[in-house]
Structure 1
Amino acid sequence: MTTSFAVSVSSSLFEAHVNFFTPGTALPDVAEILAIEQLPGSRWARLSRIQVRHTDGGEESYFVKVSLGHHGREALKGEFEATSAIHAVTPDFCPQPIAWGSLRGDPDAHFYLCRYYEFSGKLPEPGPFCERLARLHKSHTSANGKFGFHCTTYNGDMPQDNIWFDTWEAFFANGLQHVLDVREERAGSDATLDSLLPALFENVIPRLLRPMESNGRRVQPCLVHGDLWFGNAAVVHGTGEPVVFDPAGFYAHNEYELGNWRPERNRFTRGGYFEAYHNHIHRTEPQEDYDDRNALYALRFNLHAATLFPDRDEFLQMAVDEIRRLVEKYPDGYTGEE
């Protein structure tokens, strides 16, 4: 599975954007492109800010992401669909997506378009940020009541398996196995990891996730951003409003979102973000399992990092260390008595 879809520097970049903004396309009221600025920040796509003048004389800036190939197309489709779902529930929490598709004249190059926002460079304050995140999670907008999503979404250049499942345990186990398969395909097998996986799937996952869906309890499928680290959250310059972007979303247990906050590299371990979030949504019962559930979710995000950056051994080691701890703590698995 080759999933690299980074866009190389091309002398036709300006021409591609000019064609993109011609009449009959995503923004038919553009009279003139004033400037194109290449932006940093992605290994998987070319990012640009495009300033235009509309036919009514007004000026506006747009954010455009361009990727190549089948996986590039699917990644941008997934970003558009996930952002659209977030925007439909919490329109003040993400940029409104405008369009996605293929560049005219180059069917192998694909785009995602939304309005451009100037960010302050600060991490959002816990209070207003977590209020909006909790509002998103409380929406319970899974139309079929299941866990998953109607299309593939990508974490970086890694496709996620979002096939629908009736239970959170089944969805999580299937998605985690998919991540492990992609990691092994890119980096090769790891004997220590492989030795721990049977106990992880047979004992730990049922022990930590099944009690939430037993004895009359039920996990509500919530729309999650799916890749909520500090690089995908920002403060809008001038307004101070917190926003999120670049989602890898699906319908999940709401606490899955917080698994990405556990690794200190993602910067949400400081400043009271967990506490601010749980001011709005209480910890799921049984609460005594909360920290180990968070650790279970976090190890998936560490495996994401190990898949995206297979040359950096520390990410895999973090996951292995956590799996070993959980396997040793829960040797008996789920007994129905938790």
Structure 2
Amino acid sequence: MTTLSPLLVRCFEIAGYDTSKLTASRHIVSYSPTGEQFFTKTGRDVRQMRGEVESLRAMAKNCPSVVPKVFGFEVAHDGNEAGTVSQFFDLSSFRRSETQQELGRRVAALHHSEKGVKKYGFAVPTHCGLTEQDNAWEEEWGVFFRDRRLADLVRRIDDGEITTLWEQLRDRAVPKLLNDFEPAPKPVILHGDLWSGNVGYDKLTKAPVIYDPSSFYGHGEADLGLARMFGGFTKDFFDAYHSVHPRSQPYHEQRQQLYELFHHLNHTLIFGGQGYKGGAMKIMRSLIKWYESVEQYPFIFDSIPEAITAFSQGAFVVIMDDEGRENEGDLVCAASKVTTERMAFMVRWTSGFICLSLPPARLTEIDLPPLLTRSGVNQDPKGTAYHMTFDANASRHPVTTGISAHDRAYAARLMASGGKEDDITRPGHLVTLRYTSGGTRKRRGHTEAAVAGEPPAGLLCELLHPTDPLGTMARREECWKFAKEWGLKIISIDGLAEYVNGAGRQLVPDT
């Protein structure tokens, strides 16, 4: 049995509980009439405790079920001690896929803008770890994050190497990443310290929850920086979050690095040593190098509706996946519109391993089975759903061996226009891929992107580096330069997926 502090007794009295019926065991207090349990805390770090309580109250306005409810907060008369009473969570791991998805949706709900909040900051100081944060209000997000987060830490760390890199980063990459992007940032309440140690699955409510916040009003994606840094959050979490809040563009990946930088700097300040300092300097150097390259080649994706229009008219589109997946660009066009000249162009600038993406029912209809091991396993590391190769049947159609640009273009158009099982021969020179039902809504791959907005038959192939004699893959910068040189639209799979989940939902069926 533990005797309750007078501060905690006062919290319970104000909340309307009969304190004679409370039983305390260390930090856990039980209330016998209802069986309720509470988490209690007392301490002399009054400013930090006040910041945490105000953070929880602010977050509860948007998503009360994801944070512990605060029942009371009291400060001693001399101001040197405080006590809090909050909801008790019986926690377990949150690593299951469905739990990660629900957590992503709950954090997304937390990040909805509130009426009346027009500035960035917070009403009281909050603490990220041991670091008290400067939450003074600012009109602009770029100013707040630059001055009240990054610059403040650089000043307090007082390290010559970090300061030198910061001075290069501050006036160049930072404004480019924080000042102009879409969707434009709105002040939303952040958790502020969102790592796996502050997340759990509550056995009582059977839902994921977050706690120990250091909140402020900022750009929602800033909460994801620490989630990336220490891991524990899976792709399911990020996909669920971004299904509600699309990734900011352009330069989403670099902006996330900048948000992660804050936490490397904060850990450098708290713990010292070379580990976190090295991580901070690595990110800073990477962003400085990125800025120099983007100034030469300003990588901005084209409009999704414009790209879909161009695709439907037969034009090629360059589609990038994200840098964490393959970091490759595919040259994509509608199979129904491909000509001999377009196929020849595709062969010239790509690996030549040209694939035709088709829906599952169509592949079954024309007898193009999946390519699997004898035990029925797909061993492709990315899970690409390869199916049987084919050619147009030379006994019925004006083709020869099947390998020429003419023959492959003809075979692709044939499949896009309703060709039958006996119109083709197997194996052949066109590789088929099964696209996931629902397209990019369900799987963010080039296979699915190739059929968005068009009768479901798309040609795709990986772009090669245009000047490398060794035939290496083209990465982001090379893909951008290629698209601009040839007047092609360039978009990202993520951008396309988020578009068809929102404004363009009618373009991709669910089945």
Q: Letter of the 1:21 partner, please give it.
A: V
Q: State the 1:112 CA deviation.
A: 2.1
Corresponding residue for residue 232 of structure 2? 267
Is 1:303 aligned to residue 265 of structure 2? yes
Corresponding residue for residue 17 of structure 1? 5
Corresponding residue for residue 196 of structure 2? 230
Residues 6-43 of structure 1 deviation map (CA, whole Å, 9 limit, x = unaligned): xxxxxxx9555256315855555221442322xxxxxx
Corresponding residue for residue 18 of structure 2? 29
| SS of aligned partner of 1:165 | coil
TM-score between both structures, scaled by the size of structure 1:
0.79
| SS of aligned partner of 2:265 | helix
Q: Aligned partners of 1:294, 1:326: CA distance in 2, in Å? A: 11
Q: Aligned partners of 2:31, 2:58: CA distance in 1, in Å? A: 27
Kept in 1: contact 2:191–2:213 (CA 8 A)? yes
Q: Could you tell me which of 242, 256, 263 is aligned with 1:278?
A: 242
For structure 1, the 5+ residue unaligned runs are 1-12, 38-47
Structure-2 change in CA distance of 1:227 and 1:19 (3 Å): closer
Is 1:290 aligned to residue 252 of structure 2? yes
Structure-2 change in CA distance of 1:283 and 1:34 (3 Å): same
Q: Could you tell me which of 287, 290, 293 is aligned with 1:329?
A: 290
Structure-2 change in CA distance of 1:103 and 1:59 (3 Å): farther
Q: Could you tell me which of 198, 211, 219 is aligned with 2:180?
A: 211
Structure-2 change in CA distance of 1:14 and 1:334 (3 Å): farther
Q: Could you tell me which of 30, 38, 41 is aligned with 1:62?
A: 38
Q: Letter of the 1:31 partner, please give it.
A: S
Q: Aligned partners of 1:149, 1:240: CA distance in 2, in Å? A: 31
Q: State the 1:271 CA deviation.
A: 4.1
**Which ranges of 4 or more aligned residues in structure 1 deviate by more than 3 Å?**
13-16, 22-28, 121-124, 331-335
Structure-2 change in CA distance of 1:154 and 1:27 (3 Å): farther
Q: Aligned partners of 1:18, 1:123: CA distance in 2, in Å? A: 39
Is 1:154 aligned to residue 133 of structure 2? no
| SS of aligned partner of 1:285 | coil
Q: Aligned partners of 1:171, 1:230: CA distance in 2, in Å? A: 26
Kept in 2: contact 1:203–1:334 (CA 8 A)? no
Corresponding residue for residue 166 of structure 1? 139
Kept in 1: contact 2:56–2:70 (CA 8 A)? yes
Q: Letter of the 1:291 partner, please give it.
A: E
Q: Letter of the 1:301 partner, please give it.
A: H
Q: State the 1:128 CA deviation.
A: 0.9
Q: State the 1:66 CA deviation.
A: 2.2
Structure-2 change in CA distance of 1:101 and 1:181 (3 Å): farther
Q: Aligned partners of 2:249, 2:257: CA distance in 1, in Å? A: 16
Q: Could you tell me which of 77, 88, 110 is aligned with 1:116?
A: 88
Kept in 2: contact 1:21–1:27 (CA 8 A)? no
Residues 59-108 of structure 1 deviation map (CA, whole Å, 9 limit, x = unaligned): 4321122221xxx111111111110011111111111111212247x742
Q: Aligned partners of 1:145, 1:19: CA distance in 2, in Å? A: 35
Is 1:92 aligned to residue 92 of structure 2? no
Kept in 2: contact 1:52–1:61 (CA 8 A)? yes
TM-score between both structures, scaled by the size of structure 2:
0.53
Q: Aligned partners of 2:34, 2:76: CA distance in 1, in Å? A: 25
Corresponding residue for residue 45 of structure 1? none
Corresponding residue for residue 277 of structure 2? 316
For structure 2, the 5+ residue unaligned runs are 301-511
Residues 179-209 of structure 1 deviation map (CA, whole Å, 9 limit, x = unaligned): 2233x2xxxx322212111111111111211
Q: Aligned partners of 2:80, 2:16: CA distance in 1, in Å? A: 21
Pairwise mapping of residues 197-208 of structure 1 onto structure 2 (< 5 A)?
Answer: 197-208=166-177
Larger Rg: 2
Structure-2 change in CA distance of 1:122 and 1:134 (3 Å): closer
Q: Aligned partners of 2:58, 2:283: CA distance in 1, in Å? A: 32
- Which structure exhibits the higher relative contact order, with contacts defined as CA atoms closer than 8 Å and separated by 6 or more residues? 1
Pairwise mapping of residues 122-201 of structure 1 onto structure 2 (< 5 A)?
Answer: 122-123=94-95, 125-137=99-111, 139-141=112-114, 143-175=116-148, 176-182=150-156, 184=157, 189-201=158-170
Percent of matched pairs sharing the same residue: 26
| SS of aligned partner of 2:71 | strand
Kept in 2: contact 1:16–1:103 (CA 8 A)? no
Q: How many residues align?
A: 294
Kept in 1: contact 2:265–2:280 (CA 8 A)? yes
Kept in 2: contact 1:142–1:222 (CA 8 A)? no
Q: Aligned partners of 2:159, 2:94: CA distance in 1, in Å? A: 38
